[in-house]
Amino acid sequence: MFAVIVVGLFAVLVLRLWSIQVIGHAAALSGAIQTTTATVAIEPPRGSIVARGGQVLAEDQTSEVVTLSCPTSERTFCPADDFAVISRLAPLLNKKVSQIDAAVQSNQIGPYQPAPVAVGVPYSIVAYLAEHKAEFPGVSVSQTYLRTYPQQGLASQTIGYVGAINSSEFAQYGTAKYAPYGYTPQDTQFGQSGLEQQYEVALHGKPGVSHIQVNSAGQDVGTQSTTQPTPGDEVVLNMDNGLENLLSTTLANQIVALRSGSVPGGAQPAPWGAAAVIDPRNGHVLALASYPGYNDNVWVPAISQQAYNQLAVVPTGAGEPLANYAVANGSPPGSTFKLATATAALQDGLITPGYYVDDTGSFTIGNLTLHNSGGEVLGPVNVSSALTVSSDIFFYTMGQLFWDAQRTYGLMPIQKTAAQYGLGVASGIDLPNVSSGQVDSPALRKQQHGPTYYVGDNVEMAFGQAETLLTPLQMANAYATFANGGTRYAPQMAAALVSPSGKVDHIKPKVEAHVAISPTNYQAILQGLEGVVDNPKGTAYYNFQGFNLSKWLVAGKTGTATITNNTPPTSWFVAFGGPRGQTPKYAVAVEINQAGFGAQASAPVVRQVFDYLYAHGLSALKLPSSSTATAKG
């Protein structure tokens, strides 16, 4: 009986083994394969950002990276975690042991991905590691992509920079909406500002996938298959590299000269300045400058705390390098705002081009007495001559006349026209973190301070003071709108997106609004703005001496905006121009904070811009020829 029991047990055992190994073979094999195949995402190379002439502003380049491999998903069992290995590797890479250990433990790295601990490693270290492999188990050298900015600090705030994707960014881009782009928590190049952020999806590309075989111990035993990543699109800008260089350099030099006192008017604080150049015919942004700036390469591969503090922590009264003053941080525009007031007064019928005001040099309303910014007494002026000589008294009068005639013209006629010009409203430019600015009004005052808007506030608003805050981009676009006859386009940084296969997606101009202005009223304003530069009484007449005004029309407006009584005024000059007989090709706005009169500080920068454009023009827009070219709105 005992023998029968033993034989029976062995028979059951044999039967079970046969069932598992023969009958269940297919299922067991399938399960084994499923549990021993892992996928690793391969980050794609990021698309380039290039100027209209083909100059590269941002691109990916391959670089040597030292990595530590982990053979199992449990990092605590990695040979690379061995203290002896890390202690030998740290001084070789000029790093601390704690830094390397933190890199290995980072949750930015997938379980089967090597942990990068040093990027941009020189060849001497690569060679040393190759010759001493036995001393560095788990250490290898591979290639990665690094974002580089060949133009150094040119248009730094506009181009922007990249960094590792953070949890909040992945929460948005890791959703089904962006599934085709394969964002993972391990992405190391994600747009953090400027165009890098604005065109993140287009630039990102699509990741590849590596299928690796993993044994029962979780060790990588070989690659099963690999799908290569698809590079991101190239973003071609309307920006002209030569013009951008000229604008940035001239603005920086002028600010340095103002601080040193080598510009007439004495030394000025001039903590920051900004400028914009737009094509009035389509809204293309040809140049955008902000001072001070920084070198984008400081963010590659990762910015140090010391370097970040130098950018982010600035003394009181100094300019902030991370701020793009061309599109954000608005300031009172001063007399450059008079374009909106003049248009409203003429188009609404408050005045005619022949209406005169006697400029006695002062204007009193209630207990408030105002003067021309330079203290001048200018005599009888109409809208044209008031723009030419910059009569504040004329525009104070417009503010009071509109206020007194609210039943006829409404409460905010100037603000309505200003909005049509794009002042105080979103511009529509393809950049992130752009200010809409604001134009002073009863509604704005009620929102910000309570019901405190009176006739004196309307008077100050009429010539660009009080709570009105605008940016150089907005002022350039307002004058561009006037220059082309009243069509306001959305300012456009990008001209096209070019796929890796060469497909071109053109970005069409987008109309945002129209400003209605009759030919008679248009000529009255144009005459006044031309007089600013070609009339001996014009406020920028001496700035444009020697410029060939017979061949090129140039018209503009100076602005001198008071911020506080304790600081010098902010200097503005806005102008448009181009070959006579044609729609003006260029609108330029320059603002320099706390720099004095517009003619002294900002107008010289605009003059150099027009000198450059007159002599050089723009680079041709370089795009690959493609029969599949399409247009995007």
pLDDT digits (tens, 9 = 90+) for 23-50: 766 666 555 555 566 666 678 899 999 9
Does residue 7 belong to any structural domain of this protein?
no
Report pLDDT digits (tens) over 447-489.
988 878 999 999 999 999 999 999 999 999 999 999 999 999 9
The stretches in the chain having pLDDT less than 70 are: 24-41, 70-82, 106-113, 211-225, 625-633
Bond from prior residue into 292 cis (ω within 30 degrees of 0): yes
The angle, 0 to 180 degrees and rounded to 10, between the axes of the packed helices 392-404 and 413-420 is 120
**Cα dihedral 348→388→556→574 (10° resolution):** -90
- Residue 469 falls inside a structural domain: yes
DSSP string, 108-173: TS-TTSPEEEEES--HHHHHHHHHTGGGSTTEEEEEEEEEE-TTTTTTHHHH--EE---HHHHHHH
Cα–Cα dist 576/421, whole Å = 15
In a domain? residue 576: yes
- Same domain for 107 and 206? no
The last residue of a domain, from among 233, 261, 296: 233
pLDDT of residue 108: 59
HSE-CB at 35 with a 13 A cutoff on CA atoms is 10
Same domain, 556 and 522: yes
> Distance between the two ends of the chain, CA-based, in angstroms?
91
Q: Is residue 14 in some structural domain?
A: no
Q: Which of 391, 117, 53, 80 is nearest to 245 (CA)?
A: 53
How many CA atoms within 13 Å lie on the side-chain side of 411?
7
Task: Say what the pLDDT of residue 110 is.
Answer: 60
Q: Which of 233, 254, 273 is the last residue of a domain?
A: 233
Domain match, 454 and 562 both:
yes
Are 414 and 551 within one domain?
yes
Shared-domain flag, residues 297 and 349: yes
- Do both 509 and 600 map to the same domain? yes
Token pair in block for residue 330? 């608005």
Number of H helices, E strands in the chain: 22, 24
Domain co-membership, 275 together with 324 = yes
Q: Pick from 174, 206, 233: which residue ends a domain?
A: 233
Tell me which residue of 480, 382, 472, 491 sits closest to 427, measured CA to CA.
491
pLDDT of residue 109: 61
Q: Is residue 279 part of a domain?
A: yes
Q: Which residues contact 495 (CB under 8 A, 6 or more apart)?
A: 52, 236, 237, 238, 284, 506, 507, 621, 623
289 lies in some domain? yes
Other C-beta atoms lying within 10 Å of the C-beta of residue 130 = 11
One domain for residues 454 and 392: yes
In 3D, which of 127, 64, 128, 66 has the Cα closest to residue 100?
66
Claim to verify: residue 362 and residue 482 sit in the same structural domain: yes
Write the CATH number for 179.
3.90.1310.10
Q: Do 373 and 251 lie in a common domain?
A: yes
What is the model's pLDDT at position 129? Answer: 83
Spell 411-422 as b/e; 16+ CB within 10 A means b.
Answer: ebbbbbbbbbbb
Query: Count of domains in the chain?
Result: 3
| CATH number of the domain to which 433 belongs | 3.40.710.10
Identify whether 218 is part of a domain: yes
Rounded CA separation 458/467 (Å): 10
**103 is in which domain, residue-wise?**
64-123
Q: Same domain for 83 and 199?
A: no
Specify whether 69 is located in the same domain as 54: no
Cβ neighbours around 113 below 10 Å, total: 18
CA neighbor of 516 nearest in space, from 426, 434, 416: 416
CA dihedral 314, 315, 317, 320 (to 10 degrees): -10
> How much is the pLDDT for 631?
43
DSSP-assigned letters across all residues of 501-541: T--EEEE---EEEE----HHHHHHHHHHHHHHHHSTTSTTT
Asked if residue 134 is part of any domain, the answer here is no
Residue 279 DSSP symbol: -
